């Protein structure tokens, strides 16, 4: 379903857009049926995400179409979806494929290393930037090319979780995460990402925080800054 008319008389709502509804339903399944692995912090985060998502869906929010935009890394998107459809994340991958022409891939940073600009992008599907509008929760996807190193960075006043859809990746060199795995980063946690050498990596993410902070995340990329400089972002990773 392609969305181009944004005039007030034809304002789209979520119930008018079944493909977005089905995609959000896949997020609900992930955060409702998955396991917290015995972690109280992850359990609490999962509940916050699904409670905020349920409230948003029940409110039948506005859907504001954004132009489709690609980045160099989206050349790997089809492969990532193919891998996801062969894994435990097949439902999410298939639902995402149905909206692939309505995704706005972006960087978020005002400055980005040239190498990273070829190997990374994200798209928001629910949040202040939409297309599905929410000021209490952000949901979206991050795509990495094979053999990507995403430098050290952090998010202030935002709690974030990432669930692997396709590919293998590691955070802070502590473990390798496969499709279906969830990792939680508390506000301010510094983290660095590396991805597998052979295939792209696609992650679904959820951010919770105050409405003001979600609207202006102010992410700091600390791993590549010069003295006295901090690259800032309004999106993941």
DSSP at 102: G
Structural domain for 154, as ranges: 9-233
The CATH code of the domain that includes 38 is: 2.60.120.10
Whole-model pTM: value is 0.88
Neighbours of 31 (CB within 10 A): 24
The dihedral through the CA atoms of 122, 125, 127, 130 has a sign that is positive
Identify whether 1 is part of a domain.
Answer: no
Query: Is residue 175 in a domain?
Result: yes
For the chain, 237 residues long, give each residue's pLDDT as a single digit of tens: 455 444 445 899 999 999 999 999 999 999 999 889 999 999 999 999 999 999 999 999 999 999 999 999 999 999 999 999 999 999 999 999 999 999 999 998 878 889 999 999 999 999 999 899 999 999 999 999 999 998 866 666 789 999 999 999 887 777 788 899 999 988 767 767 899 999 999 999 999 988 888 887 766 666 544 433 444 455 565
2 part of a folded domain: no
d(C-alpha 192, C-alpha 23), whole Å:
28
- What gap in Å lies between CA 127 and CA 42, rounded to an integer? 21
**Which residues contact residue 20 at a Cβ distance below 8 angstroms, ignoring those fewer than 6 apart?**
14, 63, 99, 125, 131, 132
Count structural domains, the chain.
1
């Amino acid at each position: 379903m392609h969305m181009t008319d944004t005039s007030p008389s034809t304002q789209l709502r979520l119930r008018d857009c079944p493909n977005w509804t089905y995609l959000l339903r896949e997020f609900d399944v992930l955060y409702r049926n998955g396991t917290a692995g015995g972690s109280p912090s992850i359990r609490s985060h999962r509940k916050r995400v699904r409670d905020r998502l349920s409230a948003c869906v029940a409110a039948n929010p506005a859907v504001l179409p954004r132009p489709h935009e690609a980045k160099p890394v989206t050349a790997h998107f089809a492969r990532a979806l193919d891998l996801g459809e062969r894994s435990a994340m097949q439902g999410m991958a298939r639902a995402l494929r149905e909206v692939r022409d309505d995704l706005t891939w972006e960087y978020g940073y005002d400055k980005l290393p040239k190498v990273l600009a070829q190997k990374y992008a994200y798209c928001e599907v629910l949040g202040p930037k939409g297309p599905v509008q929410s000021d209490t929760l952000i949901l979206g996807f991050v795509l990495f090319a094979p053999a990507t190193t995403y430098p050290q960075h952090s998010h202030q006043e935002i709690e974030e979780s990432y669930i692997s859809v396709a590919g293998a990746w590691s955070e802070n060199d502590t473990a390798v995460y496969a499709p279906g795995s969830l990792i939680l980063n508390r506000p301010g946690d510094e983290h660095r990402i590396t991805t597998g050498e052979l295939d792209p990596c696609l992650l679904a993410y959820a951010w919770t925080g105050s409405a003001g902070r979600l609207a202006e995340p102010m992410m700091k990329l600390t791993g590549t800054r010069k003295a006295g400089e901090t690259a800032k972002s309004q999106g993941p990773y």
